[in-house]
Structure 1
Amino acid sequence: MRHIRTNGPRSRAAIAAATGLHKTTVSSLVEELLSRRLVRELGMDHSGAAGRPGRGIALSPHVGAVGIEVNVDYLAVHGSDLAGRTVYEHRTGFAGAGRDVERCLDEITAAAHRALTHLRDRGVAPIGVTVAVPGLIDVTRGVVVLAPNLGWHEVPIVDRLAHSLPDQLWIGVDNDANLAALAEHTSGVAAGTDDLVYLTGEVGVGAGVILGGRLLRGADGFCGEIGHMTVEPGGDVCGCGRTGCWETKVGLAELVRRVTPDAAYGLERGPLPDPQDRVAEVARRLAAGDRVARHAVTDVGTWLGLGSAILVNLFNPRTIVLGGYFAALAEHIIPAAQAALARRAVANPVSRCHFVASRLGFTAAARGGAGVVLDRVIEHPTTVSVPAPAAVVARVPGPLPTPAVPAPAVPVR
């Protein structure tokens, strides 16, 4: 299945030739995967070994997963199938900061149900849900340890969702930047780059770090909380309670406060504006030559480069992928950021490290959440079976083995 995912549809003979497996072994494995409906047969494949062409084997569009990103001001949901097709994608305003946790979880559950129903209606059997949250996550326990911008502390989100979603689903939670980094590494603008840093560009700022092709988690799984590193001692108070955090210089809330102070976060009346609408207003003012907007965005770029220099010196990435609003305003932010990075970081790594704008938008973490569930299917296909069209996925009891690439989807039954 990994071979097919990497190389695309192949005949049995072509798979055998490329992997070194015996033809009878490949045929046996393909037949089992066909019976589980995890792969499907296509038309004749003429690209394999010499001789009569065989039928191409491709990953199935009948198995899917859902990722949900919870943020301060929006919920993003993404559903995709094993074949890599986007089946469902939706983003809506979400007043997450300072609200009752139970009400927030109710909205997350409702969003999950809508996505799962959408997949089933299109003949895709969902096998799991992963929730992305900006904060410190205990992936093993399925607990949000601390999400300062949401005001969450020790929230058992996996257990809570397990009581409201179908029993056979895998349910997990992970840090939003980690999941976005995985999405970028597999299908984004930096796909295939084994050493990268992904920066979320939202009210909160976090980092997903991939080194040597693997997600860096740290001793407690809390790696990447770079938004709360101090860059200006004695500076503004951050949502975490400390002062001078990087987030207070480059977070979306700070940019909005400077460019549109009359529409700053916390002053809203009625539905919370979508972050993309806020960014569009900043972009409109930049296009109109607004000096305040230009200075604010340049300052963000400078501070972004200053903080990124620390990350470059620590991790020596090839690429720094800018997500969220950073990506939307990349043409205005990157020049100042690259210049500040060049001044602050060690010379040689900087010459080979550059900023790029994500193309996944504000749904990158949700996409990554769906992706890690599907990665588990690739790693452990014998745990999944889809016996009939639109059927519920059956699952063997007990926890799954740990896959080769750390995956945050936590089995709960």
Structure 2
Amino acid sequence: MKHSRAGGPSNGSTSRGGPAGSTGSAGSNGSAGSNGSAGLPAHQAAVRRSNLALVLRHVSEHGPCSRSAVALGTGLNKTTVTSLVNELRARGLVKEAGPQYAGSVGRPGLALVLDGSRVGALGVEVNVDYLAAFATDLAGRVLIDRRLGFDATGSGPGRSLDELARVVERAVADLDRLGVRPAGITVAVPGLIDTIAGTVVTAPNLGWREVAVAERLSRAGIPADLPIGVDNDANLAALAEYTSGVAAGTADLVYLTGEVGIGGGVISGGRLLSGADGFAGEVGHVMVDPSGERCGCGRIGCWETKVGLAALERMVAPDEVPAAPFAARDPEERLAGIERLLATGDPRVEAAVAEVGRWLGLGAAMLVNLFNPRVVVLGGYFARLADRLIPVAHEELRRMSMGGADRCRFAASDLGYGAAARGAAGVVVERTLSDPMAIAYLHPPP
């Protein structure tokens, strides 16, 4: 399932203080936001914030680079660039990496690179049968990557969020021991999300309705100055694929995650497709079989009833018993049971996987006809079974799409089940690049 009010890959979440991608506010981190604008008129503070973001993003994308190169690349004068760089260094966001020789006569300039080694980004995920945490520093160094099995559906929102809060507290403590302070948290949830309020409107596979995730986490002991955003898991996974996955940089792609259900995210023209209310791309609940089974959302014949992990399990063992090899809650363990049966050549299991592949290709054909992507990235359990699923799915895509099979390919994600948490951390990084004033000074600027 998916939902986002984000306009593009840079705006996938919101904080307690406002939109995540906003450059007009420092969010709820008042101590940090006030450091750079105190005493300045509002319009001057806004210009300062915008210029800081411009320089920081240039260094992030083009570093190592000299101050002169930053001035040339941004159109700012050298005096302004020097002042901005001093402030970014004071906030621990850029650093000097030694002299840069440009091949000309004269003293070489000192090269600037993105630092952020003391600034962290934390993404967490609550899904049907696991919780996950993923953290990086601003430069992308992975600091935390963990997942634990947890029955969120059976636990209800209260207990699930209490456990998620403990995951966050442990991650924040681990970052603190590394000398890293998180700039924010983004929570990934498989459902329709009001990203402005940080509320899950509905998450059928979790059984949640109108759950104020950001508010509950803030009451659970998460530091008050730490912005909390909430967004759909498939949106965030799609952003992770776009920035660092197997199809990174592909301007038009569709991401499909195979979990108990199925989620989808659409990148079109290099931006996350959201629609008027953020409901675009609700692919898992497109009806593909009017005489099919009832879905967790209450409707009949949704696509996820044909290709979700739960659907595959039902086909493999309609009369499932607790001793079945896929009875474990963790999706990796459940899938491992199916893989063991596949390895034995069990014809029933091979037929079930082929059936999922056919339905996967049929649904993908509709998406290819609608969005004309270059790549359909398969995540979750789809990626693990990609060798068996993709040939069948591609044949169905060739049969059902309007010529798209020759211009679009399937690719197996290499981000694993942590794609959504990784994308969630990426949103925090993006928010920091867009609003450096949200990061507190490590020391006063010169």
Whether the TM-score (by the shorter chain) exceeds 0.5 is yes
CA gap of 1:332–1:52, structure 2 versus 1, over 3 A, is farther
Once the two structures are superposed, the pairs formed by residues 13-52 of structure 1 within 5 Å of their partners are: 13-46=68-101, 51-52=106-107
Letter of the structure 2 residue corresponding to residue 357 of structure 1: A
Letter of the structure 2 residue corresponding to residue 308 of structure 1: A
CA gap of 1:378–1:234, structure 2 versus 1, over 3 A, is same
Match status 1:326 vs 2:379:
no
**Which residue pairs with 2:202 in the alignment?**
146
Match status 1:351 vs 2:351:
no
**Which residue pairs with 1:372 in the alignment?**
427
Partner Cα distance (2:355, 2:441) in 1: 53
Letter of the structure 2 residue corresponding to residue 292 of structure 1: R
Instruction: Using the TM superposition, give the Cα deviation of residue 261 of structure 1 relative to its aligned residue in structure 2, in angstroms.
Output: 5.3
Partner Cα distance (1:49, 1:258) in 2: 69
Deviations 1:324-355 (A, max 9, x none): 011111111111111111111111x3321111
**Which residue pairs with 1:399 in the alignment?**
none
* Contact 2:328–2:334, Cα closer than 8 Å, also in 1: no
Aligned with 2:360 (options 275, 298, 304): 304
Aligned with 2:213 (options 140, 149, 157): 157
CA gap of 1:311–1:51, structure 2 versus 1, over 3 A, is farther
**Percent identity of equivalent pairs:** 57
Instruction: Give me the CA root mean square deviation.
Output: 2.1
* Contact 1:202–1:251, Cα closer than 8 Å, also in 2: yes
SS of alignment partner, residue 218 of structure 1: coil
* Contact 2:156–2:208, Cα closer than 8 Å, also in 1: no
CA gap of 1:12–1:284, structure 2 versus 1, over 3 A, is farther
Does 1 or 2 have the higher relative contact order (CA < 8 Å, sep 6+)? 2
Match status 1:70 vs 2:126:
yes
Once the two structures are superposed, the pairs formed by residues 384-395 of structure 1 within 5 Å of their partners are: 384-387=439-442
**Which residue pairs with 2:272 in the alignment?**
215
Once the two structures are superposed, the pairs formed by residues 10-409 of structure 1 within 5 Å of their partners are: 10-46=65-101, 51-59=106-114, 60-164=116-220, 165-260=222-317, 272-347=328-403, 349-387=404-442
Moved more, 244-253 or 17-26: 17-26
Deviations 1:108-133 (A, max 9, x none): 11111111111111111102111111
SS of alignment partner, residue 75 of structure 1: strand
SS of alignment partner, residue 173 of structure 1: strand
Moved more, 27-36 or 10-19: 10-19
**Ranges in structure 1 where 5+ consecutive residues have no aligned partner:** 389-413
Partner Cα distance (1:237, 1:51) in 2: 74
Instruction: Using the TM superposition, give the Cα deviation of residue 51 of structure 1 relative to its aligned residue in structure 2, in angstroms.
Output: 4.2
Instruction: Using the TM superposition, give the Cα deviation of residue 260 of structure 1 relative to its aligned residue in structure 2, in angstroms.
Output: 4.9
CA gap of 1:386–1:285, structure 2 versus 1, over 3 A, is farther
Instruction: Using the TM superposition, give the Cα deviation of residue 303 of structure 1 relative to its aligned residue in structure 2, in angstroms.
Output: 0.5
SS of alignment partner, residue 109 of structure 1: helix
Partner Cα distance (1:25, 1:121) in 2: 36
**Ranges in structure 2 where 5+ consecutive residues have no aligned partner:** 1-55
CA gap of 1:100–1:25, structure 2 versus 1, over 3 A, is same
Partner Cα distance (1:200, 1:49) in 2: 51
Q: TM-score, normalised by structure 1?
A: 0.88
Partner Cα distance (2:153, 2:106) in 1: 63
Letter of the structure 1 residue corresponding to residue 292 of structure 2: G
* Contact 1:137–1:222, Cα closer than 8 Å, also in 2: no
Letter of the structure 2 residue corresponding to residue 126 of structure 1: P
Moved more, 287-296 or 271-280: 271-280
Partner Cα distance (1:191, 1:84) in 2: 15
Letter of the structure 2 residue corresponding to residue 93 of structure 1: G
Instruction: Using the TM superposition, give the Cα deviation of residue 39 of structure 1 relative to its aligned residue in structure 2, in angstroms.
Output: 1.4
Instruction: Using the TM superposition, give the Cα deviation of residue 43 of structure 1 relative to its aligned residue in structure 2, in angstroms.
Output: 2.7
